[in-house]
Structure 1
Amino acid sequence: MANSLMNFAGKVVLITGASSGIGAAAAIKFSRLSAQLSLIGRKTENLKEVAKQCKEINGQDPLIITGDVTKEEDNARIIKETIDKFGKLDVLVNNAGIIEVGTIENTSMEQYDRVMNTNVRSIYHLTMLAVPHLIETKGSIVNVSSVNGLRSFPGVLAYNLSKMAVEQFTRCVALELAAKGVRCNSVSPGVTVTNLHKRGGMDEETYNKFLEHSKNTHAMGRPGQASEVAEAIAFLASECASFTTGTSIPVDGGRHAMCPR
């Protein structure tokens, strides 16, 4: 029964930030579940590599769209090209995101705007454009948040604010669309082995120390893998979670339940 409910054959899944990390892992997971994929990212070559892996799994060519979700015209094009190609949309995975280091004393407004535009405004806009199509299919939205949206941590203020906004966005949209058959949920990863922190400015040595420290800050004694987050994303998008909306699933090895350190 569970296997049939996790089957995405004939369903169209759009994933932002699909060129690496959690987005790429989600693409691989959904391809194993027979989904038709629309993969969005800023790096074409990386998208092509992910698409190649997906095709090797289920024989289907994903649609690749190079675009920047902070640009309104790109978001409009992303939805249009997806609908033009597949004729519908069943699942929207809002995964694209960035992190920047800084406190209230030294986070510039440029940093703040960059983080909020990528992590919040882009999700708001792309979801708005996708909703009419998701209503037609009684579809599902899965937002990639963070344990930083559930708990407070020093040194990444703008990022914390952006992910708390994603948590609230998830709940509000869930309530607004429930009567129309569209579910909206989120996953909240802890430290996950991706290139997010390196893109945020960490050098190799600092990042390795960060991962090592994660063994102490996560109850399960290790950082997470992108594939583990992808499993939760697929579950929330599937009919296995047919009566679940407005919720956030921590995929963080117990980080959200521990005292800060």
Structure 2
Amino acid sequence: MSEFASKVVVITGASSGIGAATAKELSKQGALLSLTGRNKKRLAQVADECKKLGAKDVLQVVGDVSKQEDMERIIKETADKFGEIHVLVNNAGLGLVAPIATFTLDQFDRCFNVNVRAVLYLTKLALPYLEKTKGNIVNISSIGSTTYATKGFSIYCATKAACDHITKASALELAKSGIRVNAVNPAVVKTNIIVNIGFSEEQSKEMFADNAGKHPLNERNIKVEEVVDAILFLASDKATMITGSCLKVDGGRELVGQ
């Protein structure tokens, strides 16, 4: 029996991409899932798939993690339904192309609210439950926090650097409660976040093709499943003495510094 069987896992940004794939893999292992996302239709589709794959139960909470009331509702509804929380996966993220010459403060605030404020506030809200279960947190960051500096992405990269430091500082602070906090830092992964930041389909294809060769290992982009494997490892008892780590899933890209 999987160690995730009957454990309550909260996953933000679960209606697509890495969040949806993580939910489906945990379903195969019999987890109890609390899934949140902004798109009600897609979230329902993911929840249905999770049930078919073996999830013990699935809670759907439609919400926007940039809003305080929605974050509070996510944790409250999870606690009301399941009574406990074992793992929090802070996966919801906002990609953003915002050149310095043209960015707006609304863009800045939106990106930081989703990628930084939500990570810290959801950690605070989940803390009482994680203390009881000696649970753990996995934050989804990016190699953009340290390596992937590129034109137009200064705000996004800054949010991911902040996510890394929240991971490390909160790991230190929460260690006394037996709570582990780690991050997964992928390189370029083929998900619809690239389309959502404003790239056309053709631009997305060019971006993926250009980035593939920059990953020394196998010269290809990172697969969603490879990121999910890292998330589940850090959330599992196999990582019992790992906390404050930012695990890069980047095919060696950091080693070449681009």
Q: Structure 2 length normalisation: TM-score?
A: 0.96
2:183 pairs with 1:190: no
Q: Distance in 2 between matches of 1:97 and 1:205?
A: 23
Q: Which amino acid aligns with 1:105?
A: A
Q: Deviations over 1:71-128 (max 9, x none)?
A: 1111111111000100100000000001111233222211111111110011111111
* 1:54–1:60 CA contact under 8 A, matched in 2: no
Cα separation, partners in 2 of 1:28 and 1:254, compared to 1, 3 Å: same
Structure 2: runs of 5+ lacking an equivalent:
none
Q: Distance in 1 between matches of 2:129 and 2:59?
A: 17
Q: Distance in 1 between matches of 2:29 and 2:176?
A: 27
* 1:51–1:61 CA contact under 8 A, matched in 2: no
Alignment-derived partner of residue 121 in structure 1 = 117
Q: Which amino acid aligns with 2:49?
A: Q
Correspondence list, 1:74-93, <5 A = 74-93=70-89
Q: Secondary structure at the match of 1:13?
A: strand
Q: Deviations over 1:132-178 (max 9, x none)?
A: 11011000000000010122412201000000000000000000011
CA positional deviation for 1:59: 5.0
Q: Distance in 1 between matches of 2:25 and 2:122?
A: 22
Q: Which amino acid aligns with 1:131?
A: L
2:94 pairs with 1:105: no
Matched residues, number? 256
* 1:147–1:256 CA contact under 8 A, matched in 2: yes
Q: Distance in 2 between matches of 1:162 and 1:25?
A: 23
2:75 pairs with 1:73: no
Selected match of 1:162 from 156, 159, 162 = 159
Q: Distance in 2 between matches of 1:71 and 1:133?
A: 21
231-240 or 147-156, which deviates more: 147-156
2:146 pairs with 1:145: no
Alignment-derived partner of residue 206 in structure 1 = 203
Selected match of 1:171 from 168, 178, 182 = 168
The two structures, once aligned, show a CA RMSD in angstroms of: 1.1
Q: Distance in 1 between matches of 2:200 and 2:186?
A: 21
Identity of aligned residues (%): 45
2:242 pairs with 1:244: yes
